[in-house]
Chain A
Amino acid sequence: ARMADEVLFQFLHNELIQYVYKSAEHGEMENGRCITRLENMGFRVGQGLIERFTKDTARFKDELDVMKFICKDFWTCVFKKQIDNLRTNHQGIYVLQDNKFRLLTQISAGKQYLEHAPKYLAFTCGLVRGGLSNLGVKSIVTAEVSVMPACKFQVMIQKI
Chain B
Amino acid sequence: MSRQANRGTESKKMNSELFTLTYGALVTQLCKDYENDEEVNKQLDKMGYNIGVRLIEDFLARSSVGRCHDFRETADVIAKVAFKMYLGITPSVTNWSPAGDEFSLILESNPLVDFVELPDNHSNLVYSNLLCGVLRGALEMVQMAVDVRFAQDTLRGDNVTEIRMKFIKRIEENLPVGDD
Contacts and interface: CB of A to CB of B under 8 A. Distances in A.
Interface in B136-158: none
A4 B55 CA distance: 14
Contact of A41 (B17, B26, B47): B26
A75 B77 CA distance: 33
B159 interface: no
A41 B26 CA distance: 7
A123 B20 CA distance: 15
A85 interface: no
Given A4-B111, A15-B47, A105-B1, A49 B17 contact: yes
Secondary structure of the B contact surface, majority rule:
helix
A48 B12 contact: no
A11 B54 contact: yes
Secondary structure of the A contact surface, majority rule:
helix
Nearest to B133: A15
Interface string B1-35: 11100000000111111111111111011000100
Max chain B Cβ within 10 angstroms of own Cβ: one of A11, A13, A49: A11
Interface stretch (A16-24, A114-122, A132-140): A16-24
A15 B22 CA distance: 11
Contacts of B33: 23
Contacts of B26: 12, 15-16, 19, 41
A33 interface: no
Contacts of A19: 26, 43, 47
A106 B12 contact: no
B96 interface: no
Contact of B111 (A2, A52, A123): A2
B23 A7 contact: no
Interface in A21-49: 23, 37, 41-42, 44-45, 48-49
B87 interface: yes
Contacts of A56: none
Interface of B: 1-3, 12-26, 28-29, 33, 43, 47, 50-51, 54-55, 58, 85-88, 111, 114-115
Nearest first, the 6 closest Cβ-Cβ pairs linking A and B are: A4-B16, A41-B25, A2-B16, A6-B14, A15-B47, A11-B51
